[in-house]
A and B are shown apart, each in its own frame.
Chain A
């Protein structure tokens, strides 16, 4: 299952880059020519996807073990049973697994932080230059409408995920799907995709930085707690933080697209229209 998942992810990463390149090249010049996804940005996205997947694979087993141990602790009614040797053993195992998770995080988060930060920074620069400085509000609207106008032929509306909690690597798969399935119609504006990825990466950057700040303190606290075999609120907090970054715990945002109706005929075009 894991091998298959890895294979799919590898294929997807390669396809993502190819598709983004193809879409960028094939995009009709309806509005201002925008170079939002040059090769450097695509490379950053691909790298972020790989680093995210590696980290997820490393940490998935530990998180699963932590969940099981915590469940066992709760079901055994160990809370408050400090004197029970069985409970003490479970708590120590839980603490050890927690330390193992923190160790993986300490080792892998800097790579993740760098990859996410690179993607965010490169997209930030492209957005600033292409949409912020080289576009006017009028041309920005034209560029977006150039893609929105094709919606009426679509049976399914485009569902932009926004910045919801899903696996980090799956987020990139969603971007891939968004781009790959729209190659012919190019309904989804590259400006929208770039904005979505950028805001996603910006949020992830802040979460990673906050988690990194906590890890050193949390490690020290748990090393001290090992001798007492306690489950601290910090443990739960850090584990939840990791889950929200990597695996997503919150339901996805509602799609931003409303259901478009099929247009029946060519509408009247006024000479007053801009």
Chain B
């Protein structure tokens, strides 16, 4: 009885110690507060990403965008492009992910409205969701284009494009539906 009690206690203690070690190690390695200039922070993030912290990419990106927004410069867009190309070359993210991330923040075009099937079959059945996603993407474009890159003109083009898409999709999807009625 005593033996069984002691053995189960030691197993539990060992498991607790192991998990504590593991979480402490991860927190220490990947958790970083990027606060200095953008180029330096990007290099630091790259270094972290190449040493097993890929899953912290979203966190690093948020911090980098925050730094860029606090230090607006038309060159920030290029810096982000280069950063994403480098980490994609390193295999941290795929080319598709790099494109998607860059275009979401720094391009007039909407990542939320892409696809290779026709509009009737791909977009119309989920029109409301697509438009909601585009609206949310416009907020990211405000961060990337206006706040980080000081490029209001491109942001207004994106805003105008969204409104045109709303009108055209409303008409097109109504026309698509009429065929099925």
Contacts and interface: CB of A to CB of B under 8 A. Distances in A.
A195 B170 contact: yes
Given A132-B124, A268-B77, A268-B78, A144 B156 contact: no
Contacts of A145: 108-109, 157, 161
Contact of A132 (B84, B153, B165, B175): B175
A144 B116 CA distance: 17
Contact of B114 (A138, A191, A270): A138
A258 B159 contact: yes
Given A148-B164, A256-B167, A127 B172 contact: yes
A137 B172 contact: no
Contacts of A272: 81, 84-85, 98-99, 102-103
Contacts of A257: 160, 163
Most B C-beta atoms less than 10 A away, residue of A137, A140, A259, A267: A137
Interface in B123-167: 123-124, 130, 151-154, 156-157, 159-161, 163-165, 167
Contacts of B116: 136, 138
A244 interface: no
Given A132-B124, A270-B106, A274-B109, A194 B171 contact: yes
Contacts of A192: 164, 167-168
A132 B119 contact: yes
Interface in A146-173: 148-149, 151-152, 157, 160, 162
Contact of A271 (B85, B107, B119, B156): B85
The CB with the most chain A CB atoms within 10 A, among B117, B154, B175, B179, is that of: B175
A194 B114 CA distance: 22
Interface residues of B, number: 51
Contact of A268 (B74, B119, B156, B167): B74
Interface secondary structure of B, over-half rule? helix
A79 B120 CA distance: 56
A261 B155 CA distance: 9
B110 to A, nearest CB: 7
A125 B175 contact: yes
Interface stretch (A6-14, A22-30, A196-204): A196-204
Nearest to B84: A272
Contact of A144 (B78, B117, B168): B168
B39 interface: no
B26 interface: no
Interface of B: 74-75, 77-78, 81, 84-85, 98-99, 102-103, 106-110, 113-120, 122-124, 130, 151-154, 156-157, 159-161, 163-165, 167-168, 170-176, 178-179
Nearest to A139: B119
A267 B57 CA distance: 27
A267 B154 contact: yes
Contacts of B173: 132
Contacts of B168: 131, 140, 144, 189, 191-192, 195
Given A124-B178, A256-B160, A258-B160, A135 B119 contact: yes
Given A189-B164, A271-B85, A273-B103, A140 B119 contact: yes
A222 B174 CA distance: 38
A131 B161 contact: no
A260 B85 CA distance: 30
Contacts of B165: 140-141, 144
A142 B108 CA distance: 11
Residue of A123, A148, A149 ringed by the most chain B CB atoms within 10 A: A148
A58 B81 CA distance: 63
A260 B156 contact: yes
Nearest to B123: A137
A136 B115 contact: yes
